[in-house]
Amino acid sequence: MSVFLEGCHRGSIRKAMLRDHFKLIYDVYQDRFSLYDLEADPGENHNVYGTPQAPAGIAEMEQDLLRWTKQSLAMMGARVAQGEALDISPEIRQQLKDMGYVQ
């Protein structure tokens, strides 16, 4: 089972996925992943993405997170385009525009 999370950090949209004891984070604006073993590193201090500590199923996790990210951004963009009030910063609104989700 996977749990999906989203938020903003330092002006960038971040999407995350929890599976087993790993947390995969995707920084949308920087197009970059990070991965944390929450069992060994609950403070998320040591990024194990691209290291031997990464789980064997990391490629599947990436695909699942990217698929959900695309759907989530499209829905967020549609809500912004329709004029719905969302609690997002001007920077995030501009990022959605830059990525083509809002005109």
pLDDT in tens, 20-33: 999 999 998 889 99
Sorted by sequence, the CB contacts under 8 Å of residue 33 that are 6+ apart come out as 24, 25, 26, 27, 49, 62
Query: Which region among 22-26, 35-39, 56-60, 78-82 has the lowest average model confidence (pLDDT)?
Result: 78-82
pTM for this one? 0.76
Query: How many Cα atoms are found within 13 Å in the side-chain-facing hemisphere of 6?
Result: 13
pLDDT at 42 over 90: yes
Beta strands in the chain (DSSP E): 2-9, 12-19, 22-27, 32-37
- The answer to which of 9-13, 16-20, 75-79 has the lowest mean pLDDT is 9-13
For residues 69 and 25, give the distance between their C-alpha atoms in angstroms, rounded to a whole number.
11
* Inter-helix orientation angle 90-98/58-81, to 10°: 110
pLDDT of residue 88: 67
